[in-house]
Amino acid sequence: MNYDVAIVGGGASGLAAASFLGSLTVSSRKKFNICVIEGNFRLGKKLSATGNGQGNVGNTSISPRNYHSAGPQNFSGGSVKMAYDIISRRQRVYETLFHGIFTADEKGRIYPAGRQASALTDCLIKGLAAHNIATFTGVKVTGIKKDGLFRLTLSDGKCISAKYVLLCVGGKAQKQFGTDGSSYALAEAFGHKITPLYPSLVQLKADTTHIKTLRGIRADCNLTAVVDGKEVASSRGDVIFTEYGISGNAVFSVSPAFAGKTGEAVIEFAPDISFEALRRDIWGKQKLGYAESELLTLTLNNQIGRAIIKRAASDKPEDIAAMAKHFTLNVTGTLGFDYAQVTHGGVDMRFVTDELESKLCKNLFFAGEVLDIDGDCGGYNLTWAFASACHVALAIASREALSEGV
């Protein structure tokens, strides 16, 4: 079986690349002959579950600070800049893949108006059908070799030939969706290095000494990650107290800072109330004869208030307010890949061009989570998946147009 382009992986980036590339024409006479190979029996399995099944596809606010790289420190900034440049150039392109209305919530997270992630998958699969793109599901690519053309060996014994290969195999997070990290070997076979891999957008394990009474409680907080004595990340959002530490959107957003590291998570309760206003409120309640355990009543959840008061240096209003604004937990690590939304780390970006093509093997491209780029919680990773996929599609189309003399 011969194709112009073989796309390995039928997740968000693979489906987007196939649908978009299928819509492009090399010349007036030729469209691309494309196949998508997916290990699961169903295309877009992880995409259909994204955003708690509601399809958080993007965010109204995007900057380089929303993206991270696990690569060498002297190059990771360049990786992030490359990713942001691609997103800036391609965001409007990938939005043409979806025919429907999207809305943003109060935190800037963009969803389909119907709040159904599976509808995103359906749109992309319709694009595949419209452009006669072949799909192979329930089979894995066990090896890729190149001798002029790429030769892909499948787990069912079949062989596929292609001029271009695009690896959209995902990372190591959430193996229930088929991403167990084994597909990095396809890139390694061509000499590519894989950076250290860590769970990201994941819960934090922490010393629970001061939060044992708070299990199951959710609070809107500012959360700051401190590593090696430096504040390295912060986020506003939900913090959920658990038997192992903390969870919630704010926790997911700062979790990349703890990739392979320990440190401190500093919780600011009541972030919309100033220290001075909080101090005065506590002072006023003391004057009215409130019991010590009730000094934060109405201001915070009663259980949280009691935990703060118990831990404060004294019963002085300023000490209680200070603890509410600077409640520190010792972070001992993160939960594992089974609980993570994405992978921090991947194919080393030093050996990938600005077009996301391998520097080691011509016509081998990458898109999405397989690369050493990951985003914050809030739609940033799907933005990267779609934008990088369309970026590669345009690069392949441009190269073919040049070779055809168009």
Asked whether residue 361 is domain-assigned, the answer is yes
- And the tokens for 323? 């603890």
Spatial neighbors of 319 by CB under 8 A, at least 6 apart, are 312, 313
> Which among 304, 334, 364 is the end of a domain?
334
Handedness of CA 115, 120, 122, 127 (dihedral sign): positive
Tell whether 313 and 188 lie within a shared domain. no
Same-domain check for residues 171 and 49: yes
Supply the pLDDT for residue 404.
Answer: 59
Q: Is residue 22 part of a domain?
A: yes
pTM of the model: 0.91
Q: Establish if 341 belongs to a structural domain.
A: no
Instruction: Give the end of a domain, one of 334, 367, 384.
Output: 334
Pair 96, 239 in one domain: no
Pairwise CA distance, residues 123 & 120, whole Å: 5
Tokens of 264: 């401190």
Burial of 404 (0-12, 13-18, 19+ CB in 10 A): exposed
In this predicted model, what pLDDT tens digit does every residue of 31-48 receive, in sequence order? Answer: 899 999 999 999 999 999
328 and 365 co-located in one domain: no
- Per-residue pLDDT tens for 330-374? 999 999 999 999 999 999 999 999 999 999 999 999 999 999 999
Same domain, 288 and 318: yes
Reference 333, options 222, 204, 243, 245; nearest CA is 204
274 belongs to a structural domain: yes
Domain containing 400 equals 2-196+346-404
Answer yes or no: do 153 and 234 share one domain. no
User: How many helices and strands (H and E) does the chain possess?
Assistant: 9, 20
State the Rg of the chain over Cα.
24
Q: Which residue, among 296, 299, 298, 316, has the nearest Cα to 308 in the 3D structure? A: 296
Domain match, 370 and 321 both: no
In a domain, residue 153? The reply is: yes
Report the DSSP pairing between strands 149-154 and 204-206. Answer: unpaired
Is-contact 199 40, C-beta < 8 A? no
Q: Give the list of residues 6+ apart from residue 246 with CB closer than 8 angstroms, or none.
A: 203, 204, 206, 211, 239, 240, 265, 329
Q: Which of 397, 389, 385, 390 minimizes the C-alpha distance to 67?
A: 385
Is residue 264 assigned to a domain? yes
Strands 198-200 and 34-38: unpaired
pLDDT value of residue 100: 80
Residue located via tokens 């419209």 = 130
The verdict on 187 and 306 lying in the same domain is no
CATH value at residue 53: 3.50.50.60
CA distance 10 to 41: 10
Query: What is the pLDDT at residue 406?
Result: 45
DSSP three-state, residue 206: strand
Domain boundary pick from 334, 356, 384? 334
Residues 6+ apart with CB under 8 A from 290: 297
Do both 315 and 370 map to the same domain? Answer: no
Query: In 168-240, where does DSSP find H-type helix?
Result: 184-188
Q: With respect to residue 34, please indicate whether it lies within any of the assigned structural domains.
A: yes
What local confidence, expressed as pLDDT, does residue 72 receive?
79
- Look at the chain and report how many structural domains it folds into: 2
Residue type at position 322: A
Low-confidence residues in the chain, pLDDT < 50: 405-406
Q: Which residues pair with 220 in a beta bridge?
A: 238
Do 241 and 327 fall into the same domain? yes
The verdict on 360 and 219 lying in the same domain is no
In this structure, the answer to whether residues 111 and 236 fall within a common structural domain is no
pLDDT value, residue 97: 85
Q: Does residue 263 fall inside a structural domain?
A: yes
